């Protein structure tokens, strides 16, 4: 469940990934790090989530169709996965509402921006 502004703990303006890992999951899951700067994520209403899933489903259908035509391509389509912006490290990442990325050589490997083909946010009022 998203953290409201009232529930947010007093955190420093800048953190590193290791600091984030020490926080409770319900708080850490609401934070992105932009060059180490703490950015609180905002979740929209149920319609927002529905729209994200609909985008994911449409993108997944298109990706599967394309991969069936060109078996050398391998794409994954997901929602709300961390995308790490640098080649290494984890203290600079965003969590888009939906994304398409190249299949990773290793299972559970971090998704890097260089692997992402499409990333998007659903805007809510």
- The model's pLDDT over 21-61, given as tens digits with 9 standing for 90+, comes to 999 988 988 898 988 899 887 777 788 889 989 999 999 99
**Could you tell me the residue ranges of all domains in the chain?**
17-120
CB atoms within 10 A of CB 124: 13
34 phi/psi in degrees, rounded to 5: -110, 105
Asked if residue 100 lies in contact with residue 117, where contact means CB atoms within 8 angstroms, the answer is yes
pLDDT band at 119 (very low <50, low <70, confident <90, very high): very high
| Helix or strand holding residue 98 (H, E) | strand 98-102
Q: Is the pLDDT of residue 2 over 60?
A: no
Alpha helices per DSSP H over the chain: 17-21, 25-28, 46-69
Q: Tell me, what's the pLDDT at 102?
A: 94
């Amino acid at each position: 469940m998203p953290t409201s502004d009232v529930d947010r703990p007093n955190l420093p303006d800048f953190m590193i990934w290791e600091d984030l890992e020490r926080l409770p999951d319900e708080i850490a899951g609401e934070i992105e790090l932009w060059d180490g700067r703490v950015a609180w994520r905002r979740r929209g209403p149920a319609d927002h989530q529905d729209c994200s899933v609909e985008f994911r489903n449409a993108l997944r259908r298109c990706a599967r169709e394309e991969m069936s035509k060109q078996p050398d391509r391998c794409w994954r389509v997901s929602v709300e996965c961390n995308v790490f912006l640098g080649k290494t490290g984890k203290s600079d990442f965003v969590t888009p509402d939906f994304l398409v990325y190249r299949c990773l050589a290793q299972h559970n490997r971090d998704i890097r921006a260089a692997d992402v083909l499409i990333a998007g946010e659903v805007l809510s009022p």
